[in-house]
Amino acid sequence: MNTLVYLNGQFMPKAKAFISPDDRGFCFADGVYEVIKYYKGKAFGFCDHLIRLKQSLAGAKIRFTGINKLEELCNELIRLNKMGNEYAGVYLQFTRGVYQRMHRFPDETVKPTVYINTYLLAPFIQEIKYGIKVILREDIRWHRCDIKSIMLLPNVLMYEEAVKQGAGECFFIRDGYITESTHSNIFAVKKDIIYTHPDSNHVLPGITKKAVLRICKRIGIVVKEDPVRADEANQYDEFFISGTGSEVMPVIQLENMFVKDGKPGPVTRRIQHEFFRATYGEIADDWDFKDWIG
Amino acid sequence: MNTLVYLNGQFMPKAKAFISPDDRGFCFADGVYEVIKYYKGKAFGFCDHLIRLKQSLAGAKIRFTGINKLEELCNELIRLNKMGNEYAGVYLQFTRGVYQRMHRFPDETVKPTVYINTYLLAPFIQEIKYGIKVILREDIRWHRCDIKSIMLLPNVLMYEEAVKQGAGECFFIRDGYITESTHSNIFAVKKDIIYTHPDSNHVLPGITKKAVLRICKRIGIVVKEDPVRADEANQYDEFFISGTGSEVMPVIQLENMFVKDGKPGPVTRRIQHEFFRATYGEIADDWDFKDWIG
């Protein structure tokens, strides 16, 4: 497929997008990224993503001055790749640029590398509908998970382990508390109250998480931004995750333990209903939300 | 300069070595590396580096079957780049290869990316002779620092901060203990006994550290592999760091506090003497070791 990408000022076929081995993204993980979902040409939460991107760039001390042009670039790339009527992901990566390898920052004349890519990103219907199993592992990541950096080796290792165990995600546990998963935020439900880890240096401030919190406020579900203790996980009625790709996805099994009766619960279903109606419109009606909600 | 590099089976000018934006080293920090110093064509601790590389690859679950050919490739690249009579660094990086971005591993037919580069790496005479200042910062890195992964953003950020403060390194502190620095191991000396953090998941098993330990054993300096408490740092007589680039380098100032009288101490000097005589031969005599030792 001849997908076009954007690299440092130019649109080009991906096969012609060359990164230098001296790119600090390649040898130092010296970069940050965002993934934005486009629903038939319409970006979800573009502004929220930009705000977070600015925070990540600031956290990584990468100077990038073209923030205001990104929306136009992303829209243009979606158009060029004829994804305006599709569900698509737009991947944006920014690194500290190309310079002979040394730990310290290159001088300020070195421009950041800017890379944008698009790909088809359909909803994970089966997982959304029936929920997923997750595994639980120690959170061995660094202590600035609020920066959306490309330092994803632990996420990669743990997600691979999850898949090998027949699971769809891995919950991370830090100091006894469930933080987040390899690429999604986590919510737990007990007696109709939702619990989620507060924004901190140990979790990414998720854009879909933010959307879920807005939905809860609107439809009157109480949310407590308190972390859940891993050893008390069996006391919760429901779990679900949120993310740009996973959207709002029920979790029905933690390791070998089913959550309640092993079916997506009513609070999760209500939030899914709101989220999917808002993002997919009437198409979501065909997914039998009413049946799901019961 | 027309330096040649090695990339996936071929020697080529660095300007023609192209990495795909889908390389997992670029978008996931899904890779490991080594730096080996060549002293006038002779590699220091090649075998030790290979052993560690194998451990890093195993830790990152990257399958690479060409370990046994690496020494020949590195030697050849040194020769091709006419560095056989120089002090040079050989940089080797291995990533999980190129595949459309997804967290889970690509299928097993995807070959790792192998990249090797050489560069001039002279001794840091001034720093070796007079010592450096270091800053101290919280160790925010992940919890598998024993894997020499390319996830170096925190190292980059902290080293840059060190340089801005007029320092030559940054000591990391985890749970109150000094672990290591951004790209070197740490040693402290009290009453002629050397203290260093034991090998663990929080420090890299340094090759030069290993050489220092061998020197100590040979010349009868007692080493205790116990970590040093940051709040007791003022009780130590000497500090020094070791690394492939820094070799054996005195630390004479921690933040605003001088270590003792602010001059490299006798134990550091003895180890430097042994190390530099072994690696640089008679040239090191010109560096006035006797003067240094006093």
Domains of chain B plus CATH, in order, are: 4-120 (3.30.470.10), 125-288 (3.20.10.10)
Closest CA to B248 of B204, B285, B206, B290: B206
Collapsing DSSP to helix, strand or coil, B218 comes out as: helix
- State the pLDDT at residue A285: 77
DSSP H or E segment with residue B32: strand B31-39
List, for residues A100-125, the tens digit of each pLDDT value: 999 999 999 999 999 999 999 999 99
Whole-number Å distance between alpha carbons of A65 and A68: 8
Whole-number Å distance between alpha carbons of A169 and B37: 41
Burial class (CB in 10 A: 0-12, 13-18, 19+), A78: buried
Residue A12 has pLDDT above 60, yes or no: yes
**Cβ pairs A/B, distance under 8 A:** 154
- Judged by CB atoms closer than 8 Å, whether chains meet at B152 and A29 is answered as yes
> Model pTM?
0.96
Measured between beta carbons, the chain B residues lying within 8 angstroms of A115 are: 21
Cα nearest neighbour of B152 on chain A = A28
Q: Tokens 């050397």 belong to which residue?
A: B194
CB A192 within 8 A of CB A247: no
DSSP letters for A109-158: TSPPEEEEEEEE----HHHHHH-EEEEEEE--S-S-TTS-BS--HHHHHH
Residues 6+ apart with CB under 8 A from B265: B189, B237, B238, B250, B259
List, for residues B44-56, the tens digit of each pLDDT value: 999 999 999 999 9
Residues 6+ apart with CB under 8 A from B134: B162, B167, B168, B169, B170, B171, B181, B239, B241, B251, B253, B254, B255
Mean pLDDT within B264-278: 96
The minimal CB distance from A183 to the residues B18, B19, B103 is found for B103
DSSP letters for B127-150: HHHH-EEEEEEE--S-S-TTS-BS
- State the pLDDT at residue B294: 46
Residues 6+ apart with CB under 8 A from B118: B3, B5, B38, B77, B78, B81, B83, B88, B89, B90, B91
- State the pLDDT at residue B291: 61
User: How many other β-carbons are positioned within 10 Å of the β-carbon of residue A281?
Assistant: 11
Measured between beta carbons, the chain A residues lying within 8 angstroms of B94 are: none
- Judged by CB atoms closer than 8 Å, whether chains meet at A101 and B115 is answered as no
Residue B33 has pLDDT above 80, yes or no: yes
Measured between beta carbons, the chain A residues lying within 8 angstroms of B103 are: 152, 155-156, 159-160, 182-183
CB A96 within 8 A of CB A24: yes
Of B37, B133, B148, B209, catalytic: B148
Q: Per-residue confidence at B2, pLDDT binned at 50, 70, 90?
A: confident
Residues 6+ apart with CB under 8 A from A141: A151, A154, A155, A172, B142, B143
Mean pLDDT within A53-66: 97
Residue A155 has pLDDT above 60, yes or no: yes
Residues 6+ apart with CB under 8 A from A240: A131, A186, A187, A189, A248, A249, A250, A251, A264, A268, A271, A272
Residue B126 has pLDDT above 50, yes or no: yes
Average pLDDT, chain B: 96
Q: Please state the ipTM of this predicted complex.
A: 0.96
List, for residues A242-260, the tens digit of each pLDDT value: 999 999 999 999 999 999 9
CA gyration radius, chain A: 20
Residue A84 has pLDDT above 50, yes or no: yes
Q: Per-residue confidence at A286, pLDDT binned at 50, 70, 90?
A: confident
Q: Mark residue A21 as left, alpha or beta (left: phi above 0; alpha: psi -120 to 50; beta: remaining).
A: alpha
Residue A294 has pLDDT above 50, yes or no: no
Cα nearest neighbour of A184 on chain B = B103
DSSP H or E segment with residue B116: strand B113-120
Closest CA to B156 of A8, A51, A99, A93: A99
